Structure 1
């Protein structure tokens, strides 16, 4: 079977790149599929994660005015698809341009929309004026209308599926890749966060929480790993957090960093099905996250493997974090539950679901 994945880029350390590296490698190494990946604007070099050498990468250059951008996008896609002749096309792109694909690809090739984020994801704060609200409403309605034109929409959780007004859908979660035989002993006085520094990831919200926590727990350290996190250095200095926060660019051996930490925190404004939660839990870390749309509530079982906190409620987040900082036994109990709770996301289990989907689409 020949597959074509359409993605914005894979040359980053983000969760989408991580999960696609796992899935595409598995499709080749275990199912013998032929896999092509189409990125944009040099989005496949240099790669951060390891991709099988048999994956065929393609790239398209998109630039200029909105009209030129979309015209180039359409023409490039048509040309590449005509050359590759895939059996199935998988679109892994949250951008609005991805939702235009069903309207200009007329070849009878099944197209799957793989939703890695919330339908309501925003890259910057929404303005409250009438025109901005109208534009947002129009955008979400277009997404729903377009989503019904795909052969299948794949959401990462039941919660994610509820966002979409579609009939052609199913749920296939992201897989867990960490298979640590060992767990963190949860004794270190270190909290870890893994996220790029962007609006939707909400690291600004995390620093507000941490400022309150170290008033009582001044000997604890917060390690933040992710792209562009060093841009927060001035904010750290202004808030007097330089002795309690480490800003660290992405590392490939992130599993080792989980094992040397005691807790994982997430303060995103929007998520899909966060790989970092699976990674942290597979390493035995209790997790605390804001109940943002969507993702955390599909993974965190309140009071069992972590805490799910009302979105934006700083005081509640601080209280729950301090509870686990103060109680090592509770951390250990939650950590064991966390490890057990992610077993259902084993890579082999998830990839069998993808295989069944692809084969059913080709038979239609």
Structure 2
């Protein structure tokens, strides 16, 4: 099978980039020929090889958070269509916004869309990462963007939702049904069982939407009561990373907050495995790949609800689902692990078993590949 995978960009090892790249690697392992195309790819992280080729549609100056992108995104769309017509793939899969802005009519070529998180267009969760001036412009523009993007969905033959939660949002906004296929964890996160854990609470801090600042503020409140724990922040970088460090200093708890910066998958797996608990503090999360990664590493998860994590976490068995932005509730559940280290071990074992059964990435990518084949067959039968 010859397929094109369309991604926003390949600039990190997380999120949609990881999902798209690992899907490509799995499909290549099944004998498929894959072209991955995006605005731009970091060639130090991602490299073409025999069965996977990388094609840039533009460069770093055209990223979606720039004004230049919005004045030139029609060129990106045109470049993509030229690539598709030249390659003539058997199937195309678009992954995440804003790739849905680039889709067009490709005649008889089947097109699948995996939006991952449509809330990028319909909530303020991610706009907090933007500069205030850009944030203001975006809030004005997105009303028009929603109309344009929604009209583009007519070009998709089938939709993949990363959770039932997301599927409901998709139907609510677009009146289209979708196939629910969860996100999985790479085999690198399936470590051997950990027999002991440090008294640390882990959170990712790469973007504001993770709300690592809320965890730091929670730690400040908890530190007035006890000092037998650490907060671990992984992925912190740039302006936001500096803001988190400044916050911990201003609160006087920099001695218990450890920042690891950008880490390798191997290091992240180690942090997951050694933490007492992983906190996933994302508002209305579509699913949360980090949740399944932590579970695969043998670590229980405290996650906000509502959201996709309600489908991956078994309450009081593999973790806890708590109300959003509630310091008291978060402290209460963190203390369960601090007061009983064995709880972390036992819950972690159950979390790992659940991840092994339902969230192994190879199984997930096989489901996606089969869904793409089914879409091809349905499209062919309609000719």
Where does residue 251 of structure 1 map in the other structure?
Answer: 263
Higher mean C-alpha displacement, 243-252 vs 330-339: 330-339
Separation in structure 2 between the aligned mates of residue 172 and residue 34 of structure 1, nearest angstrom: 23
Q: Which residue of 1 aligns with 2:96?
A: 93
- Length-normalised TM-score, structure 2: 0.83
- Return the TM-score normalized by structure 1: 0.87
Give the RMSD, CA atoms, in angstroms.
2.7
Higher helix share: 2
SS of corresponding position for 2:43:
coil
- Cα distance in 1 for partners of 2:246, 2:89 equals 48
Q: Deviation digits for residues 74-111 of structure 1, max 9, x if unmatched?
A: 2211221122211111111223xx33334x33432111
Aligned equivalent of 1:265, options 253, 258, 279: 279
Secondary structure of the corresponding residue to residue 278 of structure 1: helix
Q: Would the aligned equivalents of 2:204 and 2:236 in 1 still touch at CA under 8 Å?
A: no
Compared with structure 1, are the counterparts of its residues 181 and 99 closer, same or farther at alpha carbon in structure 2 (3 Å cutoff)? closer
Distance 1:361 1:336 in 2: 37
* Contact 2:112/2:372, CA 8 A, preserved across alignment: no
Q: Does 1:240 align with 2:240?
A: no
Change (3 A) 1:105 1:340: same
278-287 or 65-74, which moves further after superposition?
A: 65-74
Give the CA deviation at 1:338.
0.8
The Cα of 1:35 is off from its aligned counterpart by 0.5
**1:307 alignment counterpart:** 320
2:22 — aligned with what?
22
Aligned pair partner of 1:321 in 321, 334, 354? 334
Q: Secondary structure at the match of 2:259?
A: strand
Mapped to 1, the partners of 2:72 and 2:255 lie a distance apart of 46
**How many corresponding residue pairs?**
353
SS in 1 for 2:368: helix
Query: SS where residue 170 of structure 2 aligns?
Result: coil
Q: Aligned pair in 2 of structure 1 residues 106, 54: CA closer, same or farther (>3 Å)?
A: closer
> Structure 2 matches for 1:285-300, cutoff 5 A?
285-292=299-306, 294-300=307-313
C-alpha separation between the residues in 1 aligned to 2:289 and 2:50?
24
Q: C-alpha deviations, 1:16-48, integer Å up to 9, x for none?
A: 22233322111111x1000101111x3232216
What whole-Å deviation, never above 9, does each CA across 1:98-140 have from its counterpart, x for those lacking one? 33334x334321111112224335322599xxx9989766655
CA distance 1:146–1:168, shift in 2 (3 Å)? farther
Is 2:133 the partner of 1:124? no
Seen in structure 2, the aligned counterparts of structure 1 residues 90 and 121 have a Cα distance that, compared at 3 Å, is: farther
Is it true that 1:230 corresponds to 2:241 in the alignment? yes
Structure-2 change in CA distance of 1:66 and 1:344 (3 Å): closer
1:208 and 2:214 matched:
no
- Asked if the contact 2:204/2:210 (under 8 Å) is kept, the reply is no
1:38 and 1:270 map into 2 onto residues whose CA distance is 29
Distance 2:203 2:324 in 1: 17
Aligned residue for 1:290, secondary structure, equals strand
Residues 1:280 and 2:294 aligned together: yes
The answer (yes or no) to whether the contact 2:298–2:351 under 8 Å persists in 1 is: yes
Partner of 1:164: helix, strand, or coil?
A: helix
- Taking the aligned partners of 1:222 and 1:157, their CA distance within structure 2 comes to 29
Matched, 1:191 2:165: no
CA distance, structure 2, for counterparts of residue 37 and residue 157 of structure 1 = 24
